[in-house]
A and B are shown apart, each in its own frame.
Chain A
Amino acid sequence: MAEARKWDGLERRGRAGAARRKKAKPSRVVADPEWYRKAVFYEVAVRGFYDATGDGSGDFVGLTEKLEYLEWLGVDCLWLLPFYQSPLKDGGYDVSEFFSVLPEYGTIGDAANFLQEAHHRGIRVIADLVLNHTSDQHPWFQESRLSRDNPKADWYVWGDDNQRWSEARIIFTDTEPSNWSWDPQREQFYWHRFFSHQPDLNYDNPEVQEAMLDVMRFWLDLGLDGFRLDAVPYLFERDGTNGENLPETHEYLKRIRKEVDDKYPGTVLLAEANQWPADVVQYYGDGDEFHMCFHFPVMPRMYMGLRREQRYPITEILAETPAIPDGCQWGIFLRNHDELTLEMVTDDDRDYMWTEYAKDPRMKLNMGIRRRLFPLLDNDRRVAELFHSLLFSLPGSPVMYYGDEIGMGDNIYLGDRDGVRTPMQWTPDRNGGFSRADFAQLYLPPVLDPVYGFQSVNVEAQLRNPSSFLQWVHRMVEVRKQHPVMGVGSFELLNAGNPSVLAFVRQTIGDDGQPDIVLCVFNLSRFAQPVELYLGQFEGHTPHELLGRVPFPPIGELPYFVTLAPYGFFWFELLPAPAEEARV
């Protein structure tokens, strides 16, 4: 409650801060080469967070104003969806100018100021960057298509033969008949692994390699702390291959890593590679490629575990997840701006997600439909808490999605991409407090339905209510950050005789040289469940429940007995028995 009031008060002082914007502020980001392994990430769309200019679209100035909220929430790093100049035919992933900001979002200066303010609050920022292709509106492509001998003629992948590399699969089979499209101006085909309006850059051309490094340097110089690199497997093309995960691609990615390590230490590279974990690990290299990769399959499996009321969908994928090099980290998420996807497992007989679980009527309904977390969970607060407790304790760094911390809903009538990208809901006022523009001017209408609409679901109301979901998430983030073991610790599944119960132990040695041990127990069932845990290795330790610091009975010789409420969970810190001298 005290926390809530504090933030509320700062908010009311509001926009006076804008005047001070120009003054340079010192960064309060704590230097730590492995910060990303302990950080809580927060994915946000500049367009959807806060509209400070009143034009109906969120912007950098608005995002800057809301940094206070994000600092209060406790997130360590923001991941920004693409904000570059773009015709927005693919949500900004079709960039038409890398060294600029989409005018609706503001200017380069606004972005620089935002980065400075974020750092001043101890918050890092990474951004989406697409290496593979540009928009066909990009000047590079406009120049390249002019002739076969202009200076940028070889910046894209051109060919007279549209049958070459037919082994490469077509990713958007619904809209694209081929990976080649005809350009009438140059009278040649150009290669595109995604949409035909997104021609692939030609990485065999050293100038292109250098140009994209320049793009990265530009934004890192401006203050970005890293990139989430989109669609990385497809940078090169080679005859007789499907063009995915080629050695040349890894070589270039390693070059990027070396560049940032040498000149921008502390920068993080996060890969989007929507594949089976055993295949994703190649993107960590020997610890010399990406720092982080998303763990894609774990989210749908959490959902299936919930449906089945048993842990196996989750534990199987964790058991199949290989070890990763030192200093690397998984990114764990519950939801993001894309759909609940199962595509990474289609032709893999090690997995039954597609062949069997995908036949579940509820799963079928949800697949391919972009839904937010709360609608997926039937708006059940208990399950949302259970899922967040998993998000914050599974091995990896949690990546939250804006709005999920207040339980925002979606608008499935907006079309698949936009349904989960509606404006952040700040207050019960006009446009949910997102913008002072006319309603009709908004980039997307805010959610208005009686359950999830901004009048009932908004930040302001939840800040005032000490038992709100937002306050609960705030507390969880705080506890998670008190226990870096959740990010860096080892992971050991425990033997639980009750199939509805998932239990594991995270362990590390803390900075003080003392063991930091956390025991996590989850009930995936809507019924109360008991479980006996074999904790012989911790005999004599006392579990302290982490949210309330309540000591539980010490672990003895017998199996440790825990009872869990429906969808209940416990995080325990295991503290050793006091030393003998201390007792005397």
Chain B
Amino acid sequence: MIDERTLQAALADHLPRQRWFAGDQDSAGAHSVVSMTVLKSGWPALVHVVVEAAGRRWQLAIGLRAIDAHDSFLDGKGDAVLGLVETTQGPAMAYDAVIDSELAPLLLAQAMPGAAVDRSRPMGADQSNTSVVFDERLILKLFRRLEDGPNPDVETTRGLLGVGFDHVAPLLAEWRDGAVHLAVVNEFLVGAVDGFQLALTSLRDLYDARVKPNEAGGDFGPEARRLGGVTARMHLAMSTAFATTPADPSAWADDMLEHLARVPSDRLDVSAVCAVYDRLRGVRPGPAIRVHGDYHLGQVVRTDAGWYVLDFEGEPARPLAERTRPSSPLRDVAGMLRSLHYASEVAIRDFGYADDPEAHELASDWERRNALSFLKGYNETEGIAVLLPPVETDHATTLLAFLLDKAVYEVGYEASHRPDWVGIPQSAVRRILEEAALT
């Protein structure tokens, strides 16, 4: 329907501006259109397009309106506009269809035929997908980067729901092309706020009130403990819903060394870090299970029915097989503990207490209290012990290694993206090494 030449020119400019597109200008220019399917003709038209670029396949839903009739809804949405293209119906303005409340319901209908909705609104874009909320009760997640097989988020959510773990958004419908997921529809969690926002609310109160974290009105401890409980139940459900395998701690240590090699060596005490990883090789680890893989406060939301876990896609930049590879549940635990540290430090900076030593002290008190509360909630969950290293010292060694791995990764990330922030993970690395020296 769309003239390929004008579409390619528009995409070459459009793709690099999208948050979900991992390629660069050149790879965008060199893309090729894999498929183009007309979902609706006439104005406004809807065309489904899959392109290949930067070695991956990307999905777009393109809306088209006659050149003289593109309405005010495009005002101020430059990033969503592809520009002018030629079509068999004549010249048209092309744009990302998720912003068009006339076309978005048609996308929903691909997954849920016959779904009747009144309103739609696009939600902030993620790294790997774009979401549209319908009537504040359904959410359509359009996957941008198409996997080679089932999407791990959909697969994991379905598996967890299947074994009765109900702290994930209920899955209502899927849109797929063979085994490949194009989109998924979940129940929209009304009133949900992500864990990072909730942690900042607690910290704002703490830094102002200047009392012990457990005496502060905004104490996060009970929330952290409940979050620990939900996390443990998630792991137990994972171990029931998906295959568990014998763990190979040496392979974990090898992975960690590989991550370490990517970080500038002047930023850390490399030999001390290696020593902690080496100790991992000798532990009795407990089973390896399917894990969340990218677990932090931004991936959990508080609702009126407690904590819910989101986004089981793992780190999108890694290959699918690696993302679904079983690992230690302590990898997720470490991710959340690191996130608590980050929250306390981000709050210090955001609220303007960077030069206030008392605030720093409160920050570490807050982190300690909530890390302990989280671990208490996790470890007190019935049945969780079978997923953890049976010997106490092995448990500690494994958790420290995963904490260190995460902090090392953060050092590398901050060093290249936000050099001012590198002190946060560096201090964590020092602290973990000190702790490792004591055990």
A interface vs B, CB < 8 Å? 306-312, 315-316, 318-319, 352, 356-357, 360-362, 493-500, 525-527, 534, 536-537, 539, 557, 559
Q: Are A536's CB and B119's CB within 8 A?
A: yes
Q: Are B201's CB and A361's CB within 8 A?
A: no
Q: Are B191's CB and A496's CB within 8 A?
A: yes
B187 at the interface (CB under 8 A from A): no
Closest chain-A Cβ to B75's Cβ sits at a distance in Å of: 10
- CB neighbours of A315 from chain B (8 A): 191, 304
The 4 nearest A-B residue pairs measured at CB: A307-B217, A356-B222, A319-B304, A536-B119
Q: Which of B298-319 contact A (CB under 8 A)?
A: 302, 304-305
- CB neighbours of A308 from chain B (8 A): 201-202, 217-219
Residue on A with the closest CB to B119? A536
Q: Are A527's CB and B204's CB within 8 A?
A: yes
Q: Are B304's CB and A557's CB within 8 A?
A: no
Q: Are B218's CB and A312's CB within 8 A?
A: no
Partner of A500, one of B190, B201, B215: B201
B198 at the interface (CB under 8 A from A): yes
- CB neighbours of B201 from chain A (8 A): 308-310, 499-500, 525
- CB neighbours of B208 from chain A (8 A): 526-527
Q: How far is the CA of A496 from the CA of B118 in the complex (A)?
A: 20
Q: Are A499's CB and B198's CB within 8 A?
A: yes
Over the window 353-366 of chain B, the binary record of Cβ atoms lying under 8 Å from chain A Cβ atoms (1 yes, 0 no) is: 00000000000000
B interface vs A, CB < 8 Å? 73, 118-119, 121, 133, 135-136, 190-193, 197-198, 201-202, 204-205, 208, 215, 217-219, 222, 225-226, 302, 304-305
Partner of B191, one of A307, A361, A493: A493
- CB neighbours of B119 from chain A (8 A): 536-537, 539
Beyond A357-B222, A499-B201, is A534–B121 a contact (Cβ under 8 Å)? yes
14 inter-chain pairs at a CB distance below 8 angstroms, sorted by A residue, are A307-B218, A308-B201, A356-B225, A360-B217, A495-B136, A495-B191, A495-B192, A499-B198, A525-B201, A534-B136, A536-B118, A536-B135, A537-B118, A559-B121
Closest chain-B Cβ to A300's Cβ sits at a distance in Å of: 14
- CB neighbours of A311 from chain B (8 A): 191
Beyond A357-B222, A362-B217, A527-B204, is A498–B197 a contact (Cβ under 8 Å)? yes
Residue on A with the closest CB to B305? A319
Q: Are A352's CB and B222's CB within 8 A?
A: yes
Q: How far is the CA of A23 from the CA of B190 in the complex (A)?
A: 59
Partner of A557, one of B73, B118, B135, B226: B73
Q: How far is the CA of A312 from the CA of B302 in the complex (A)?
A: 8
Q: Are B121's CB and A536's CB within 8 A?
A: yes
Q: Are A309's CB and B222's CB within 8 A?
A: no
Q: Are A493's CB and B118's CB within 8 A?
A: no
Partner of B219, one of A306, A319, A360, A557: A360
Partner of B217, one of A309, A318, A495, A539: A309
Q: Are B222's CB and A499's CB within 8 A?
A: no
- CB neighbours of B118 from chain A (8 A): 536-537
Q: How far is the CA of A67 from the CA of B331 in the complex (A)?
A: 68
- CB neighbours of B218 from chain A (8 A): 307-310
- CB neighbours of A496 from chain B (8 A): 191
- CB neighbours of A539 from chain B (8 A): 119
Given contacts A319-B304, A495-B136, A498-B197, 13 further A-B contacts (CB under 8 A): A307-B218, A308-B201, A308-B217, A308-B218, A310-B198, A316-B305, A318-B304, A352-B226, A495-B191, A526-B208, A536-B135, A536-B136, A539-B119
- CB neighbours of B219 from chain A (8 A): 308, 360
Q: Are A493's CB and B190's CB within 8 A?
A: yes
Closest chain-A Cβ to B24's Cβ sits at a distance in Å of: 32
- CB neighbours of A361 from chain B (8 A): 215
Q: How far is the CA of A537 from the CA of B136 in the complex (A)?
A: 10
Q: How far is the CA of A362 from the CA of B205 in the complex (A)?
A: 15
Residue on A with the closest CB to B212? A361
Residue on A with the closest CB to B306? A316
Residue on B with the closest CB to A361? B215
Closest chain-A Cβ to B420's Cβ sits at a distance in Å of: 26
- CB neighbours of A497 from chain B (8 A): 193, 197
- CB neighbours of A494 from chain B (8 A): 191
- CB neighbours of A527 from chain B (8 A): 204, 208
- CB neighbours of A534 from chain B (8 A): 121, 133, 136
Closest chain-B Cβ to A286's Cβ sits at a distance in Å of: 28
Q: Are A312's CB and B222's CB within 8 A?
A: no
Which of B118, B135, B217 is most buried by chain A, counting CB atoms within 10 A of its CB?
B217
Closest chain-B Cβ to A422's Cβ sits at a distance in Å of: 29
- CB neighbours of A495 from chain B (8 A): 136, 190-192
Q: How far is the CA of A361 from the CA of B221 in the complex (A)?
A: 14
Residue on B with the closest CB to A524? B201
Q: How far is the CA of A308 from the CA of B197 in the complex (A)?
A: 13
- CB neighbours of A312 from chain B (8 A): 302, 304
- CB neighbours of B202 from chain A (8 A): 308
Q: How far is the CA of A347 from the CA of B333 in the complex (A)?
A: 30
Residue on A with the closest CB to B199? A499
- CB neighbours of A310 from chain B (8 A): 198, 201, 218
Closest chain-A Cβ to B278's Cβ sits at a distance in Å of: 41
Q: How far is the CA of A495 from the CA of B136 in the complex (A)?
A: 8
Q: How far is the CA of A495 from the CA of B190 in the complex (A)?
A: 5
Q: How far is the CA of A169 from the CA of B191 in the complex (A)?
A: 39
Q: Are B205's CB and A309's CB within 8 A?
A: yes
Q: How far is the CA of A356 from the CA of B135 in the complex (A)?
A: 35
